[in-house]
Chains A and B, each alone.
Chain A
């Protein structure tokens, strides 16, 4: 559960910094509909790498790019194990 809250907090933090109005976060929310651009996502991934010590995208070559918030969070939860 802690991973989830760190990921969510980071998403909100970066959205605020970049003046993006974020819809309420839910697992089903499409990344497409968050209003976050590539750079926002890149910053979120960089901060999470520091906060969680994990970069799930670099684990292996078979990472499927997440398309929803839920998939994004799950990627980090799995990497934390």
Chain B
């Protein structure tokens, strides 16, 4: 497997990984991985990586691929309350909250390349993605589904220096880490609370030329005036709907860069890339997506089949993510205009706030806990900064409002509800706007009428 090239230092030029605190040499980490006696206690185990730093996570991945039976990546923004469920579903033996070995650890015997390769291929990599109830779903991959399509086409002088706003503990970020490792390149990782502008300044100084983020990240970059800190050769957007305005703004900011947007999901894997500078994707792609990828549109939803599709959802056993024909329903609704498909939102009403998923039901459940709220409805509103924000309507119990319906009383209740949500939800799930309404319409089924994409 290609990861071995990085592991054994055959990749050629020096490769590094760095965050805001330090830089590590990939070949050095990899050599230690091959002789890693300190990893031995984790051999054959199911390991959950809950390391605060992305850089430590990358080191652990390099060392544990081929050692651990299963590696679960825990993004720092997932509520610790889900830890028990995740450990049960993934049959976790060990939770790592810090690296269990010192740099320059004991030297053990190196396995042969072939044995090593087979072991690396067998390790299961598990990513978390948010579920309707707020409980994370576990999506199982292998190195083959994650990186089987990646090639080392780097010049002898080495591959590019990548930089991403994404978290390598999620699908999009992990793709970039593997792309850098397999492709003989290096990667600049974001710090825990680092603003996009600071990351760009640091990455620019480190020689980064390949930059990846969501449209929201890039809008933020343009608004902070930090765009001039870098001179990218390659700019890529994914993780949210990419509109024409952000593509045009980036084209203006970086006239010579290759500007690409991509479609990927944790379950379906990387689907395709679009490089013509226009939003959506050409209808012709349905017939010739290439790269072993097949696309279908059924009931206005995009379906994808490829060798990058996940093994399945992990819940004591593997539950397929694909249908009988091998296609994954992405849940993304597309509409055809002038020979191009444009993304129109999510079938299930999931809101994408700056690349982070929010299920309206989950926010409604919290709002409805408040004693003054009789019922609430949460939906998406499009937003020029984060693509979308969550907004809520709430019907109040009579007792809470009947004596005083003044603007001041409503304002107080809105503030109270916001603070109630703030105590119970991560920031991107808190409604940006809460409206107090006299009633909410019910649909024919007696359920709240929802606007669906």
Residues of chain A having any CB pair with chain B under 8 Å: 17-18, 30-32, 37-39, 41-43, 45-47, 49-50, 55, 57-58, 61, 63, 65-67
Residues of chain B having any CB pair with chain A under 8 Å: 195-197, 216-217, 219-220, 222-226, 244-245, 248-249, 353-354, 381-386, 389, 391, 418-419, 422, 427-428, 432-433
Is there contact, CB below 8 Å, between A66 and B391?
Answer: no
Is there contact, CB below 8 Å, between A38 and B244?
Answer: no
Is there contact, CB below 8 Å, between A30 and B225?
Answer: yes
The smallest beta-carbon distance between B229 and chain A, in angstroms, is 11
Is there contact, CB below 8 Å, between A45 and B418?
Answer: no
In the complex, which residues of chain B have a beta carbon less than 8 angstroms from the beta carbon of A39?
A: 353-354, 386, 427-428
The smallest beta-carbon distance between A23 and chain B, in angstroms, is 15
Neighbour of B220 across the interface among A38, A43, A46, CB < 8 A: A38
User: Smallest CB-CB separation from A67: which chain B residue?
Assistant: B225
Is there contact, CB below 8 Å, between A46 and B224?
Answer: no
Is there contact, CB below 8 Å, between B216 and A38?
Answer: yes
The smallest beta-carbon distance between B164 and chain A, in angstroms, is 16
Question: 10 interchain pairs (CB within 8 A)?
Answer: A17-B419, A18-B427, A30-B225, A38-B216, A42-B386, A45-B385, A46-B432, A50-B433, A58-B384, A61-B248
Is there contact, CB below 8 Å, between A46 and B383?
Answer: yes
Known A-B contacts A39-B354, A39-B428, A50-B433; A45 and B384 likewise in contact (beta carbons under 8 Å) = yes
Neighbour of A47 across the interface among B219, B226, B419, B432, CB < 8 A: B432
- Report the separation of the CA atoms of residues A50 and B436 in the bound assembly, to the nearest whole angstrom: 13
Is there contact, CB below 8 Å, between A41 and B223?
Answer: yes
- Report the separation of the CA atoms of residues A43 and B196 in the bound assembly, to the nearest whole angstrom: 18
In the complex, which residues of chain B have a beta carbon less than 8 angstroms from the beta carbon of A46?
A: 381, 383, 389, 391, 432-433
- Report the separation of the CA atoms of residues A17 and B391 in the bound assembly, to the nearest whole angstrom: 16
The smallest beta-carbon distance between B390 and chain A, in angstroms, is 9
The smallest beta-carbon distance between A60 and chain B, in angstroms, is 9
In the complex, which residues of chain A have a beta carbon less than 8 angstroms from the beta carbon of B220?
A: 37-38, 41
- Report the separation of the CA atoms of residues A63 and B222 in the bound assembly, to the nearest whole angstrom: 12
Neighbour of A38 across the interface among B226, B245, B385, B422, CB < 8 A: B385
In the complex, which residues of chain A have a beta carbon less than 8 angstroms from the beta carbon of B226?
A: 32
In the complex, which residues of chain B have a beta carbon less than 8 angstroms from the beta carbon of A67?
A: 223-225
Neighbour of B224 across the interface among A32, A45, A49, A55, CB < 8 A: A32
